[in-house]
Amino acid sequence: MKVQSPHSASPAPSERSPLKVGITGGIGSGKSIVCRVFQTLGIPVFDADHAAKHLMQHDAQLIAAITGLLGADAYLQGTLNRAWIAKQVYADAAKLHQLNSLVHPATVAWGKTWMQQQHTPYVIKEAAIFFESGSHNDMDVMVGVYAPVPLRIARAMKRSDLTADRVQAIVDKQMPEEEKMKRCDHVIVNDDVQALLPQVLRLHGLLINQVGLL
């Protein structure tokens, strides 16, 4: 999912900013699929994961900070060494927290600028760790995408070369799905049983109506 550059002209001050909708869920829940459906409805989506990777590769200040934290091996010939970094931080909770403290503020700032530039009734920001990072406080509405853990693990394994144990380790480090869904205003169930499209269309109508009442 492409992320629009934050450097284009901002909207006029008199224009009302779009409703800010956050979509979250654990690994393999299907957040991106849900967001693609919203995109077909004309709703712009800011993919925080894609944005973070872009900044880690292209933002000179962030590159310097990551290199200072993890060492020169974090980049190979100027390219982000993602596999190596993943091994370092997932084996060291302190380093993971430090890395997140570098990447998240830059990503959040980009997202805020991007949202202000949109002209739709509402916009979506997709991210896995809204509640963990506290960035849910910047959203007007939070939407959770839920799927059972065994299905999430199977999906993650299918789309990558991760083993079941590796995916389970990632799941274990994330906020429990039940807790995450309780904190959301709306929940979309993506369990390959309940139809996804009617749920998205219903929520789309609710969000449009909410904007109309503001």
What is the residue extent of each domain of the chain? Answer: 19-44+118-214, 50-107
The overall longest dimension of the chain from CA atoms, in Å, is: 53
Between CA 170 and CA 162 the distance in angstroms is 10
* Pick from 6-10, 87-91, 125-129, 197-201: least confident: 6-10
pLDDT given for residue 12 in this prediction: 40
Residues 6+ apart with CB under 8 A from 79: 57
pLDDT at 52: 95
Full strand arrangement of the beta sheet holding 186-189: 45-47, 122-126, 19-24, 141-146, 186-189
Tokens 């570098």 locate to: 102
Among residues 105, 123, 111, 115, the alpha carbon closest in space to that of 39 is found at 123
CATH 3.40.50.300 assigned to 19-44+118-214? yes
DSSP of 60-71: HHHHHHHHHHH-
**Contact status, residue 32 vs residue 1, Cβ threshold 8 Å:** yes
Dihedral angle sign, alpha carbons of residues 145, 206, 202, 126:
negative
pLDDT digits (tens, 9 = 90+) for 49-107: 999 999 999 999 999 999 999 999 999 999 999 989 988 887 788 998 899 999 999 99
- In degrees and rounded to multiples of 5, residue 126 shows phi and psi of -100, 125
Least confident piece of the model among 124-128, 139-143, 161-165: 161-165
Tell whether the model's pLDDT for residue 207 goes beyond 60. Answer: yes
